[in-house]
Structure 1
Amino acid sequence: MDATYIQNSIEQLKLNIYNQLHHSTLLKYTGEPVLNNHQLFYLLLPFLNGENWDENLNISAVTIGMVHASLSEHDKIHEQNATSKEQQLTVLSGDFYSGRYYQLLANTGNIFLIRKISEGIVNRCEQQMKVYEPNKLTINEWLNSLLTIETELIKKYYSFYHFEKYNTIMTKSLLLLRLNEELINYQNGNVTAFIKNMMGSLNKFETVDSVINQEVETLIESLNEYLQTSSVLKDELKLYIKKQIAVCR
C-alpha cells in the first residue's frame, strides 16, 4: 500500500457517494456535492489499516459521506438573498441528500446504526448553530465546537463498529486541518462565520493568527508524538498522515 493506493481508495469512496446523490438538476445548478477528502480518508482508515471490512461497513462509510454532503449544502445557505433560485436549490439539495442517506440506511434495516448517526447529526448541528447565536464563547469553547463539527459523525461511526482506537489520530488531525484551512482563508481576506465569531472572544493581546497558530503547533506536536510512539497504524498510513500534517506548518 502506498499513497496512490490510499488516494485511489478515497476517490472510489467519493465516486460511490456521488452515485448515490446524483441528480441532474441539482448538478446543473449547485454542482457536485461538497466532500472533504480528509474526512473520507478517516472513514476509510480502519479498512486501510487492515480491519475486517464487509459490505455493511462500506455502506456505512458511504452513508456518513452522504450526511456530510447534506450538512455542507445546508451550511452554504446565506442569510441574504435566500430566495434566489440557486439558494432554493441548495436547500433542496441538502434535503434531497438527507432523504437519500436515510433511504440507504433504511434499506439496511439497522436501527441501531440509524440511531447512532442521528445522535451525531444532532450533536454536530447543535455546535454549528452556535455560530448564529449571540452568546459569547471562550476560545476553547469555539475550538470544541469546531472539533465536534468536523469529527462527530466519524466518532459515532467508529463507536458503532468498535474502532475507537482511531479516535485520537482522527480528531486531532481533522481539527488541525480545519484550523489550517480557516487560517488560510483569513489570511486571504475570507473571514468565515467561525473566524468572525471567534474574533469576538479574543482579548486585546491576541490576534486570530496567533491563537490559531498556537493551537496548530500544539496539535502538530501532539500528532507527531502519537505517530512516533503508537503501534496502532501501519507505517504507510503514518507516513501519509505526516505528509498531511506537514502542509500545516
Structure 2
Amino acid sequence: MSATNIIQQYISQVKTDIRHPYLDKYITHPVIEPQKVKALNIILTDTISEPTKTTYIKATLFVQLALHTHDFIDLNNAENETMETTKKRQLRVLAGDYYSGLYYQLLSKNNEIEFIRILANAIKDTTDTKMTVYYKKHSSILQFIDEFANVDSKLILAVLKKVNTALDATFIQNWLTYHLLRREQKLLDKGETSVFIELLQKNFAKKFTNKVLSSKLIDAMTHYKKKLEKSDHQLSNAYDDFSLDTEEMMIESLDPVKEG
C-alpha cells in the first residue's frame, strides 16, 4: 500500500470513529491534518508492531482533535451569543470531551498505560504553553509562527521522544511548520478561518491586509523550506519519506468531516 493510501486509511478510520449521531447534526468536526498523520506514520514505522502503531496514531489524532475543538471555544467570546450559538459552543465542549474520551478508551482497552501518561503530559504542556502564545501580542509574524508552531507540534514531538528514534525533533518541527503554513495560506486566500488565522488577524490585521498577510505566509514558507533543504546533508535515509511535495495530502487536509 502506498504512503498516501496509508494516510488516507488512517484519516478514514478516525473520521468513522468520531462520528456521533447527535453531534453530527449540529457541528462540523475539526480537520484531521494529513501532515501529522504522515509524520506519525513515519515516526512509528519499524519501531513498534503494526497494531500498536495504529493504536498510537489514532489515540494521538483523537487528542489533537480535542485540543483543536477547545481552541475554538477558548478564542470565541461567549458574550452576545444567540441561543443557537450557545448551543453550538456547548456541543463543541462536549465534542472535545468526547474525543478525549475516545483516546483514553482506546489506550485503556489496549493496556497502554504508559502512552496515556505520555499524551496526558503532552496535553498539559500544550495547554500551558498555548495560554501564553494565544494571548500574547507578537512583535513579528515570524515570531508568531515560530511560537504557534511550537505549540502545534508538541503532541507529535512527544510521540517522537517516546519511541526514541534517530529522527531529529527540530527537522520534524520545521517540516510540520512548513505544511501548517501551506494549509493556512490556502485557507486565508479562500476567505476561510482557523485558530491560526484568527490569531494572525488579531495580531496583525490593523497593520496588514489579508492579501499582504498571505504573501508573508508564503515568505515564511520559503524561510522554512530553506531550513529543511539546509538540513539535507545531515539526513540519513530515514528522512526520505519527508517530502516537501505533499499536494496529494492538501486536498484531504482542507476537507472537514461533514455534518449530518
Q: Which has the higher contact order (CA 8 A, sep 6+)?
A: 2
Distance 1:246 1:225, change over 3 A: farther
Match of 2:228 among 223, 227, 237: 223
Distance 1:83 1:131, change over 3 A: farther
**2:257 counterpart residue number:** none
Distance 1:101 1:230, change over 3 A: same
Task: Provide the aligned length of Structure 1 versus Structure 2.
Answer: 237
Deviation at 1:198, TM superposition (A): 3.5
Distance (whole Å) between structure 1 residues aligned to residue 24 and residue 94 of structure 2: 12
**2:15 counterpart residue number:** 18
Deviation at 1:247, TM superposition (A): 10
Q: TM-score by structure 2 length?
A: 0.76
Instruction: Give the 3-state SS of the residue equivalent to 1:163 in structure 2.
Output: coil
Q: Does the alignment pair 1:44 with 2:45?
A: no
Distance (whole Å) between structure 1 residues aligned to residue 124 and residue 132 of structure 2: 13
In structure 2, give the amino acid aligned to 1:212.
L
| 1:177-236 alpha-carbon deviations (Å, 9 max, x no partner) | 222333334444456222124417979xxx63564343221211122233465223364x
CA contact (8 A) 2:171 2:228 kept: yes
| 1:105-127 alpha-carbon deviations (Å, 9 max, x no partner) | 22333333222211211222234
The correspondence of residues 53-72 of structure 1 with structure 2, limited to 5 A, is 53-72=49-68
Distance 1:41 1:138, change over 3 A: same
**1:136 counterpart residue number:** 137
Q: Does the alignment pair 1:79 with 2:77?
A: yes
**1:163 counterpart residue number:** 165
**2:95 counterpart residue number:** 93
Instruction: Give the 3-state SS of the residue equivalent to 1:35 in structure 2.
Output: coil
In structure 2, give the amino acid aligned to 1:219.
Y
Distance (whole Å) between structure 2 residues aligned to residue 231 and residue 66 of structure 1: 31
Distance (whole Å) between structure 2 residues aligned to residue 125 and residue 187 of structure 1: 29
Distance (whole Å) between structure 2 residues aligned to residue 247 and residue 59 of structure 1: 22
Match of 1:233 among 223, 228, 238: 238
CA contact (8 A) 1:34 1:73 kept: no
**1:7 counterpart residue number:** 4
Distance 1:219 1:26, change over 3 A: same
Deviation at 1:33, TM superposition (A): 4.9
CA contact (8 A) 2:40 2:156 kept: yes
Distance (whole Å) between structure 2 residues aligned to residue 117 and residue 86 of structure 1: 27
Distance 1:76 1:57, change over 3 A: same
Q: TM-score by structure 1 length?
A: 0.79
Distance (whole Å) between structure 2 residues aligned to residue 219 and residue 246 of structure 1: 20
CA contact (8 A) 1:131 1:194 kept: no
Deviation at 1:151, TM superposition (A): 1.0
Deviation at 1:41, TM superposition (A): 0.8
Structure 2 unaligned blocks of 5 or more = 251-260
| 1:79-106 alpha-carbon deviations (Å, 9 max, x no partner) | 2437533332222111111112112222
Instruction: Give the 3-state SS of the residue equivalent to 2:236 in structure 1.
Output: coil
Deviates more, 1:55-64 or 1:25-34: 25-34
In structure 1, give the amino acid aligned to 2:53.
L
Match of 1:114 among 113, 116, 127: 116
Distance (whole Å) between structure 2 residues aligned to residue 161 and residue 38 of structure 1: 19
Deviates more, 1:31-40 or 1:183-192: 183-192
| 1:11-50 alpha-carbon deviations (Å, 9 max, x no partner) | 22123323432322122322455311111111101355x4
Instruction: Give the 3-state SS of the residue equivalent to 2:137 in structure 1.
Output: coil
Distance (whole Å) between structure 2 residues aligned to residue 173 and residue 154 of structure 1: 12
